[in-house]
Amino acid sequence: MQIHKKYGLTRFINARGTFTPLGVSRSSDKIARASAEALSEFFVIEELQTVVSEAIARLTDAEAGTVTHCTAAGITLSVAAVMAGSTPDKVAALPDTTGMANRVVLPAGHAIDYGQSLLQALRLAGATPVLAGTDEACSTGDLEKELAHEDTAGLLLVSSRLVHGERVDFIEAVAAAHRRGVPAIIDGAAQDMRINELLAAGADIVLTSAHKYLAAPTAGLIIGRKEMIRAVRAHENGIGRAMKATKEGIIGVLTALEEREQLDLNSWRNEQDEKVTGFVAQANELPGIKARLVPDPSGMPFSRACLTLNPLQSGMDARELAHVLRTGVPPIWVMEHKVDANQLYLELVPLTDSELQVILARLATVLSRKGKQKV
């Protein structure tokens, strides 16, 4: 925490999850040491990428993988790969896609915004995004209608809590793309513990973040068939030059992958359940709050805490409480996507016991004071 003091930066408690504007995650001491060591050394980057590809393959049973700057970069590079392959002239031409199939089909409800529009990430490669179905629903028939166009280069699916509408069956969607002879990409940015499941849907490429729950330095992982990974790597000499992975990033990813290989997932899941269960039990003792566990909406193996406020008892609504928490000392950031329903969500995965007690103490102080004022 000396860095915060040195530069006058805000120290806060992050119960909002792997949120990019808040620094995403905390790396372990082992990952931090490995990344720091890499900064003072030289490497043949091609060798590093080969080693990390082997590590990704071991962990996921995929054929190959590569590291790029982040998942957003991975989206653009994967789309470039399905349009241009590894043909040097085409690689050099992008984002000019003259003479190439450049339509990338995705369900309308998957056109998410994660701080950047997903559609812009496609357009950066020169692709033309084509939305199938509506925000409310996209059937396999809707996808097949758009995939049938002769200029279709690929299908993009998104696995995220940010998607809209009814769930799209990934296995059926990927099969529809393959019937038309086009590759399928699945963006699972915050889904690193579900990579095997997403690959099992038949995707040619699966994307995930290395700096969310893997807690590596900033990086994205592109995982899938060797031919597709080879095409992605070809674009390092094209538009991917601005999206390249760093040596410290790759070493950090390697270390994070090694830690994940050694992780007892069942024990880790139990630890997370105990953490959230204990927090919820204590939160339920506070005035005006009903707390409960809620599963991660995108299928990751942990729960979040949901706090539902009764404004008549608490003296405030969820929006006001979120503001009070965020402007206190230290600031506490929580998820605010359900404030209109008087709900706040907290992700506790990276938090220490002492941080949880700070949150509970702050809630107790604020709610007790507000409740008395209401009376």
Mean pLDDT in consecutive groups of 10 residues from the start of the chain, 375 residues: 88 94 94 97 96 96 96 97 97 97 97 94 98 96 96 96 93 97 96 94 97 96 97 96 96 97 94 96 95 92 96 92 96 96 96 97 88 49
Instruction: Supply the pLDDT for residue 373.
Output: 53
Looking at the fold, whether 175 and 66 belong to one and the same domain comes out as yes
Looking at the fold, whether 273 and 169 belong to one and the same domain comes out as no
Instruction: Supply the pLDDT for residue 372.
Output: 53
CATH number where 354 lies: 3.90.1150.110
User: Is residue 12 in some structural domain?
Assistant: no
CATH number where 250 lies: 3.40.640.10
Cβ proximity of 90 and 44 under 8 Å: no
User: Is residue 2 in some structural domain?
Assistant: no
User: Is residue 92 in some structural domain?
Assistant: yes
Instruction: Supply the pLDDT for residue 375.
Output: 40
Give the start-end residues of each E strand in the chain.
Answer: 13-15, 64-68, 103-107, 128-132, 152-158, 184-187, 205-209, 220-224, 289-295, 303-309, 332-334, 343-346
Looking at the fold, whether 201 and 239 belong to one and the same domain comes out as yes
Paired sense of beta strands 220-224 and 289-295, if any: unpaired
Q: Count the helices and strands in the chain (H runs, E runs).
A: 15, 12
User: Is residue 34 in some structural domain?
Assistant: yes
Query: Domain residues for 124?
Result: 27-262
User: Is residue 11 in some structural domain?
Assistant: no
Cβ proximity of 198 and 170 under 8 Å: yes
Paired sense of beta strands 343-346 and 303-309, if any: antiparallel
Instruction: Supply the pLDDT for residue 368.
Output: 84
Number of domains in the chain: 2
According to DSSP, residue 10 is labeled P
Q: How far apart, in Å, are the Cα atoms of 124 and each of 67, 119, 129, 155, 265? A: 19, 9, 11, 16, 37
Looking at the fold, whether 125 and 38 belong to one and the same domain comes out as yes
Looking at the fold, whether 347 and 302 belong to one and the same domain comes out as yes
